[in-house]
């Protein structure tokens, strides 16, 4: 067997290890109900912030905890406690993703990913808003 073959096998083995490790350490997009069934396991939950309910943020007592209510895509609402400061302009977020796990009836999030109202290219609605305020 030539060296190149041995090396080839090693490379393929490493590539397989990459795939396996990616799959095994990947998280899953899931609704609260799934996260509740497997509490203690980390999930990505996609949902909309319930803007009617108040945010829980008392920076003068603890700047590193921010709470809010999130309605997931199945319509279930849970209180989310996020380990961090209240993201700037959180009120304007439309859809968000929280990364974390259920603890009792609360979702403990280590990350909150916000989808801004518009990214580099705004959507039509957003543009109309701007025009409206300009004229």
Binding residues for another protein, per CB under 8 A?
2-4, 7, 11, 14-15, 18-19, 21-23, 25-30, 42-44, 46, 56, 58-65, 81, 83-86, 88-89, 92-93, 95, 97, 99-101, 103, 108, 110-111, 113-124, 126-128, 130-131, 134-135
CB of 65 to another protein, least distance (A): 6
How far apart, in whole angstroms, are the C-alpha atoms of residue 128 and residue 126?
A: 5
- Give whichever of 50 and 73 is closer to another protein, judged by the CB atom: 73
Least distance to another protein from the beta carbon of 58, Å? 5
CA dist list (Å): 18 to 27, 95, 134: 16, 31, 52
- Backbone phi, then psi, for 70, in 5-degree steps? -120, 135
Closer CB to another protein, residue 52 or residue 124? 124
CA distances from 34 to 6, 30, 85 (A): 44, 6, 27
């Amino acid at each position: 067997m030539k060296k190149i073959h041995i090396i080839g096998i090693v490379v393929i083995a490493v590539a397989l290890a990459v795939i396996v490790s990616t799959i095994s350490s990947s998280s899953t997009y899931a609704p609260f109900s799934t996260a509740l069934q497997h509490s203690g396991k980390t999930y990505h939950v996609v949902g909309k912030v319930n803007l009617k309910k108040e945010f829980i943020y008392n920076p003068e007592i603890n700047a590193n905890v921010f709470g809010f209510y999130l309605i997931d895509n199945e319509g279930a609402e849970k209180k989310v406690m996020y380990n961090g400061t209240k993201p700037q302009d959180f009120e304007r977020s439309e859809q968000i993703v929280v990364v974390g796990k259920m603890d009792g009836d609360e979702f403990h999030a280590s990350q909150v990913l916000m989808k801004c109202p518009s990214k580099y290219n705004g959507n039509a609605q957003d543009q109309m808003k701007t025009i409206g305020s300009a004229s």
